[in-house]
Amino acid sequence: MSNARSRIECVRGDLTLERVDAIVNAANEGLRGGGGVDGAIHRAAGPGLLAECIERYPGGCPTGEARITGGHDLAARYVIHAVGPVWRGGGEGEALMLASCFTNALAIAAESGLRTVAFPAISCGVYGYPHDEAARVSIAALVEGLESRPEIEARVVLFSEELLGVFADALG
């Protein structure tokens, strides 16, 4: 089994341009689009993405869980919508919920036979998670999830140089 950590790459870029089997969306519980990377993904994917979310997931998706749709007009074949926690100080299960986003997204990717998955910095935007803690939790969850899935390679695509530095440090 190849080393899980070596199958994670942190890069600076725009997630919507990734040519991978699936990009992961930092979605909200409604799965109806929003701001930040969610808005960028829906704009790039076209209206079919929202239509599929409404049709397949009328109840949305609880925090910490994930749901898959097609990629529509994206280069990626699929979108895995994961709902990160809003930061409320760290005492309300935020770390477990953030880790679950990565764990559940990888489980869905594996079930669907996908091999390349690109993630954003979930909860690091309007949801307010401290970046260094989010990076530590996210990378640890990715390492753990990849250990049992040697066929999957993960990329974390960071929008800013600051976040790239923080995630690259956490990856080590």
CB atoms near residue 59 (< 10 Å): 8
Nearest in space to 57 (alpha carbons), one of 82, 74, 38:
82
**Within its chain, how far is the Cα of 171 from the centroid?**
16
Q: Which two tokens stand for residue 167?
A: 């995630």
Rounded Cα distance between 118 and 126, Å, is: 20
* Residue 16 binds ligand ADP, judged by CB under 6 A: yes
* Contact code string over 127-156 relative to ligand ADP, x by CB under 6 A: x-----------------------------
Of the candidate residues 9, 14, 92, 132, the single one contacting ligand ADP (CB under 6 A):
14
Minimum CB–partner distance for residue 134 and ligand ADP (Å): 9
User: Quick one: tokens of 140?
Assistant: 């640890």
Selected catalytic residue, list 38, 73, 132, 169: 38
Residues in region 19-58 near ligand ADP by CB under 6 A: 26, 36-38, 40
Catalytic residues: 38
Q: Name the residues that contact ligand ADP, by CB under 6 A.
A: 14-16, 26, 36-38, 40, 84, 120-127, 157, 159, 163
